[in-house]
Amino acid sequence: MARVLLVNTNRERTPVTVLPLGVCLVADAAEAAGHAVALCDLCHVRDPAAALRRAVQAHTPTVVGLSIRNLDNGDAAAPRAYLPEVRALVDGLRAYTAATVVAGGAAVSLAPAPVCAAVGADYAVAGEGELTFPALLAALDAGADP
Average pLDDT, the chain: 95
Is the pLDDT reported for residue 117 higher than 90?
A: yes
pLDDT tens per residue, range 6-57: 999 999 887 777 888 899 999 999 999 999 999 999 999 999 999 999 999 9
Q: What percent of the chain has pLDDT over 70?
A: 100
Burial of residue 14 (CB within 10 Å: 0-12, 13-18, 19+) is: exposed
Is the pLDDT reported for residue 121 higher than 80?
A: yes
pTM score of the predicted model = 0.94
If DSSP codes are grouped into helix, strand and coil, which group holds residue 37? strand
Check residue 12 and give its pLDDT: 85
Burial of residue 30 (CB within 10 Å: 0-12, 13-18, 19+) is: buried
